[in-house]
Structures are given as C-alpha cells and as structure tokens.
Amino acid sequence: MRILVQRCDKASVTVDNKVVGSIDKGLMLLVGFTENDSSSNIDYLVDKVINLRIFDDENGIMNKSLIDVDGSILSVSQFTLYADSTKGRRPSYINALSGDKAINLYNEFNEKLKEKNVHVETGIFGAEMKVSLINDGPITIMLEK
C-alpha cells in the first residue's frame, strides 16, 4: 500500500464537471494498493497519516499532526502509484491491485479514517477525475507499508 501525502490549504476532486469531494486545511492523499495488502497495512497507515507531524506549531516548526490542527482529508484512489517504468517508455501497472479487489481496501481505508473522527472526502473510485490542490509548503511525503 502506498500513499502520497500532500499538506494542503485546499483540495478538491471533480468528476464530469461536478465537485464530488472538497476540503480546506488538511491532507490530500493519493492511495494505491498492490497484492498482499491487507487490513494490517491499512491500520498502520491510518495511524501514520493522522499522526504524521507535518503541520507547523506556533514557532513555525513542523510539530503538529492532522489531529492537532483539526484538519480534513481528501482521499483519492490512484493505481498509478504502482507504475513500473524500468523497461521502455510505457509504464506497466501489473503491480497495481485489480479494481475489484482494490475498491474494498480503499473503502476500508476511508472508513477507518472516519472511525478516528477525521473528516474525509473522496473522489469516485475508478472514475476519470480532475484533482485540484493548493499544496502548503510544499510538503509531499510518500508512505508505504
């Protein structure tokens, strides 16, 4: 499981010219799955995401978590996080989990975030999405389990 975490002032996702998810201060997450990912991967990364100390404290030091700043999450499914571009010029997505399996893990991930009292907005799994982001910092971190 891979998550690209981006600290943001604002983020939104649009499908068919309609905004389906939008947040202000918080984290925009691109979330991808591969074979052998399980609930234990999800539990680990949910805890890591919500407690990652990447928000500034009163001294301008990244010392606060999403929980500390009462931030929100925009979670967007992203199978291309598992692109393999080592051969040729066209990436292979063979390592990405198939959609019929990944959707269950993606939904579980979002539900577990909500169980931690985090406001979560999402895109639409498998849809052609347009993502807008005002990255704060910019702070962008790749997490993997």
Residues comprising the chain, all counted: 145
Angle at 46 between CA 11 and CA 36, to 5 degrees: 110
Residue 44 near residue 112, CB atoms below 8 Å: no
Secondary structure of the chain as H, E, C letters:
CEEEEEEEEEEEEEECCEEEEEECCEEEEEEECECCCCHHHHHHHHHHHHHCCCEECCCCCEEECCCCCCCEEEEEECHHHHCECCCCCCCECCCECCHHHHHHHHHHHHHHHHHCCCEEEECCCCCCCEEEEEEEEEEEEEEEC
Catalytic residue check, 80: yes
Catalytic one of 6, 79, 109, 122: 79
Catalytic one of 78, 86, 109, 140: 78
Catalytic residue check, 6: no
Q: Which residues are catalytic?
A: 78-80
